[in-house]
Structure 1
Amino acid sequence: MLFLARMLLLGIHFLVAGILGLLVGLCRPFDPDNSRICARFYAVPALWLMRLKFKADMRSVLEQKQTCVIIANHQSNYDLYVLGRVVPRRTVSMGKKSLKWVPLFGQVYWLAGNVLVDRGNARAARRAVTATTHALQHDDTSIWVFPEGTRSQGRGLLPFKKGAFQMAIAAGVPIIPVCVSSYVRHLRVNRWTSGQVELRALPAIPTEGMSNADIPALIERCHGQMRQCIAEMDERIAAG
């Protein structure tokens, strides 16, 4: 009964948040700060409805003075609520072009200024990356990327793709890893308190002076730091 009631309320909330986000997007289309506002519309009520215990340390992002590339692990569709709670100002994300056609949510995502990438069209994907690099350098806009390229669904931290690191190096901006505990493994929506999740932003990693030759080592560094941080958060949560 609790599961059905919660899913019904989350469904209603999803529609209401989408309508509010659409109004914001229509009033100020493609403003980079729409992404943060719309993300809060989705995240704050949903976390309350799910009674998901939430703890976040985003100091390294909040203290960052220049634009940056934020990378985070991607676990499930619930990341919309978990990560939506901490999207910083003037930060847009990169998503697949097909999201644009998801009823209501896709239009909100597009009008919020997020970058839609056609992964099946290499030329179009390169143009999107070039435009995003320009935004990092000249438009006071940071980029949020899931470097795994897909949802892990509890399989741990998957290998990273190169795109986020290429953009950061091309723009000469730092990378900030954001780590999310493995909440999807323990999420129980049919319980009064559905689970616990921790987020932690790691110190910024500068890329100034790097070239594409440095990408493999940079990926290995970020992946290793995130894997260790996630393991530490998981262990802390398990210990109670």
Structure 2
Amino acid sequence: MLFVIRMLLLGLHFLVAGVLGVLVGLCRPFNPDNSRLYARLYGWPFCWIMPVRIEAEVGPLFDQPPGCVIIANHQSNYDLFVLGKVVPRRTVCIGKKSLKWVPLFGQLFWLGGNILIERGNAHQARKAMLTTTRTLQNNATSIWVFPEGTRNPQTQLMPFKKGAFQMAIEAGVPIVPVCVSPYAQRLNLNRCKRERVIIRSLAPIPTAGLTQQDMPALIEQCREQMQHCIDSMERELNRG
């Protein structure tokens, strides 16, 4: 019964947040701070509807000025809501071009100034890379990326794709890792007890002076740091 009630409330919340978000976007289209407002619209009510208790320890993320690459692990579609309260100001993300046609969410994503790319098209991908580099360097705007490239509910991170690191190196901006404790396989929508979810950001990793030859080592460094953090949060949660 709780599952049905929560899903109905979540669906209603998604529609209301989408409508409000589109209205905000129409008033200030493509403003890079729209995504932060959208994230709050989705994130705050979620904590009341769903059985989660989010603990955010993201001082390094909020202390970092706009103009960085933020990388995070991606567990499920609920990340849209779980991460809502920690998206910093002037942050956009990259999504596939077809998202623009998803009712409400697609228009909201587009009006939020997020970067839409056509996957599988090398020419378009290169143009998108140039756009993101200019955005990072000149617009005081950060870009949020899920470097695994797909959802992964497991505690072990999958290999990272190179796009986020290529952007950071080309723009010479720091990378800020954000780690979310494993929650996707624990989440039970049919119970009252709230699941504890920890979000923890790590210290920025500088890329100034690095070249593309340094990218494999940079990727491994980021992945190792994030895996260590996720393992530490998992042990903390298991201790209760």
* Conservation of the 8 A alpha-carbon contact between 1:10 and 1:46: yes
- Larger mean CA deviation between 149-158 and 76-85 belongs to 149-158
Q: 1:235 matched to which residue of 2?
A: 235
1:80-119 deviation digits (Å, cap 9, x = unpaired): 0111211000000111222111111111011011111211
Q: Distance in 2 between matches of 1:55 and 1:183?
A: 12
Q: Deviations over 1:185-213 (max 9, x none)?
A: 21111111341210110000000000000
Letter of the 1:30 partner, please give it: F
- TM-score, structure 1 normalization: 0.98
**Per-residue deviation at 1:156?**
2.8
Please report how far the alpha carbon of residue 122 of structure 1 lies from its aligned counterpart in structure 2 after TM superposition.
1.2
Using structure 2 for the length normalisation, give the TM-score.
0.98
Alpha-carbon separation, structure 2, partners of 1:194 and 1:154 = 20
Map 1:186-205 to 2 at 5 A.
186-205=186-205
Extract structure 1 runs of 4+ deviating beyond 3 A.
none
Q: Give the match's secondary structure for 1:88.
A: coil
**Deviation at 1:155?**
6.0
- Where does the alignment leave 5 or more consecutive residues of structure 1 unmatched? none
Matched, 1:158 2:158: yes
The answer to whether residue 91 in structure 2 is matched with residue 74 in structure 1 is no
Question: Where does residue 169 of structure 2 map in the other structure?
Answer: 169
Q: Mind listing any 5+ residue stretches in structure 2 that lack a counterpart?
A: none
Residue in 2 that maps onto 1:216: 216
Find the aligned partners of 1:209 and 1:176 in 2 and give their Cα distance: 17
1:65 CA displacement: 2.9
- Other-structure match for 1:93: 93
Q: Is the 8 A contact 1:50 1:193 kept in 2?
A: no
Partner of 2:127: 127
Q: Which residue of 1 aligns with 2:65?
A: 65
SS at match of 2:184: helix
Quick check: 1:18–1:108 contact (8 Å CA) kept in 2? yes
Answer whether contact 2:180 2:198 (CA < 8 A) is retained.
yes
Measure the CA separation in 2 of the matches of 1:8 and 1:31: 31
SS in structure 2 at match of 1:177: strand
Distance (Å, rounded) in 1 between the aligned partners of 2:120 and 2:193? 41
1:14-51 Cα offsets, whole Å, 9 max, x none, are: 00000000001111000000000011101110121113
Q: How far, CA to CA, are the matches of 1:239 and 1:55 in structure 2?
A: 16
Whether the 8 Å CA contact 1:96–1:116 is kept in 2: the answer is yes
Is contact 2:51-2:191 (8 Å) kept? no
Partners of 1:178 and 1:159 lie apart in 2 by 16
Aligned length: 240
Contact 1:53 1:193 in 2 (8 A): no
Q: Secondary structure of the residue that 1:159 maps to in structure 2? A: coil
- Aligned partner letter, 1:68: C
